[in-house]
Amino acid sequence: MRLVVCVDRDDDLGRKAGVAGPVIGRTSVLDSAVRLGTADPGDADTNAMFAAVHLRDEIAAAGHEVEVAVLTGSPKVGVLSDQRVAEQFDQVLTRFPGATVHLVSDGAEDEYLFPILASRARIDGVHRVYIRQSASIESTYYTLVRALKDPKLRAKTVLPFALVLLTLGIAAAGGVIWWGMIGLSVLLGVYLIFWTFDIDEAIIDSIRSASTDIRQGSVAFGFGLFAVALVAAGLLSGYNAYIGHPSEIPLARILFLLNAGLIWWLGAGFAWEAGRALRRYFVRGRLPSSFPIATTSIIGIGFLVYGVIYLIELLESLSGSTQLYAIVATIVTGLALVIGAAVLSQYLKTRTAAPDAATLPT
């Protein structure tokens, strides 16, 4: 028994034509393809379904027993869609046990499912479907369109272009095009930093974690709010120090800002880590090993930044009250604490991994 399988991973068949998978049988597949083609003539899955029927007819003409089926996933392409495809494939195999499979793909996403299908049945071949007039353009077009359905990719490709248009449009309307260019540069610079270090995902994860803490009444939410308040207090304190020395050079005013706000920001980091540690303590009955490491790192970073600030002030003759040996001692202390935290982290990882390794069979 042979089985021709066409996969609609993002469930265009269900969303556009109202057909639920799996679709089994030549007549049912043809009817579904017509309904999808009527709903969206440009959908590549329509061609893939017709190609599956065509391949089924070729195999039947060669004298083999064959059937055709269409599997559908989910608009949320990923774990959920792949799970649905796997479940539907199991249903089909229950009706046709021991069948060998021919996979028909439109060349965009469906072949990602090859390992899932191959783990359940023998795959005799993968048949790619192209629009004859312009196969490469069609494949590229649908690949791009389906890739842009991913919210993360869309945010990282469409968002910068939207920022450019929005900023320049507002600047042109206000007659301040040069300020618009400056603002655009700042926005894109911040965006690229967020993208490079995945700060946006960290912020989203923090928001989700805060939402969970609110629903569960976790102590971490209170500490998180306190940390945010400390950050705001540091910004306000630094701003007051910046505007309080209008006669100083810009470098000196920036150093005043950092000097005034740093202690607040270090306190915010400590409050944040303390909240996370207490949450773990109430759940597991012990403080996590990451808490002393994080605390040591925060203190070490504080020593380092203060040491660098005082060193710049000394080199630029902005302050003569700090001795060089005190500055060096501050920087060395900071480095020692940061390195010590890194060593402690590696030691704890090694100690945790050792019992696990000892249990492995030799």
Instruction: Write the pLDDT tens digit of every residue in 289-302.
Output: 788 888 888 899 99
Instruction: Tell me the mean pLDDT in the region 127-143.
Output: 59
Tell me, what's the pLDDT at 347?
A: 78
Residue 327 has pLDDT above 60, yes or no: yes
Residue 217 has pLDDT above 70, yes or no: no
- CA Rg value for the chain: 31
Residue 23 has pLDDT above 80, yes or no: yes
In sequence order, the 6+-apart residues with CB closer than 8 A to the CB of 109 are: 9, 10, 77, 146
Which of 145-154, 280-289, 298-307 tops mean pLDDT? 298-307
Distance CA 36, CA 16 (A): 6
Q: How many CA atoms lie within 13 A of 115 on its CB side?
A: 2
Tell me, what's the pLDDT at 362?
A: 42
Beta bridge partners of 67: 3
Tell me, what's the pLDDT at 236?
A: 93
Tell me, what's the pLDDT at 131?
A: 59
Give the C-alpha distances (Å, rounded to integers) separating 206 from 11, 284, 322: 32, 21, 39
pTM score above 0.75: no
Tell me, what's the pLDDT at 229?
A: 92
Q: Report whether 101 contacts 122 (CB < 8 A).
A: yes
Tell me, what's the pLDDT at 225?
A: 85
More confident residue, 60 or 316: 60
Distance CA 9, CA 73 (A): 4
Tell me, what's the pLDDT at 233?
A: 93
Tell me, what's the pLDDT at 46?
A: 85
Give the C-alpha distances (Å, rounded to integers) separating 266 from 271, 294, 338: 9, 11, 14
Residue 287 has pLDDT above 70, yes or no: yes
Per residue in 221-270, pLDDT tens? 788 888 889 999 999 998 998 888 877 788 888 888 888 899 999 999 89
Q: Report whether 309 contacts 238 (CB < 8 A).
A: no
Least confident of 22-26, 147-151, 194-198, 339-343: 147-151
Residue 141 has pLDDT above 50, yes or no: yes
Instruction: Tell me the mean pLDDT in the region 14-24.
Output: 85
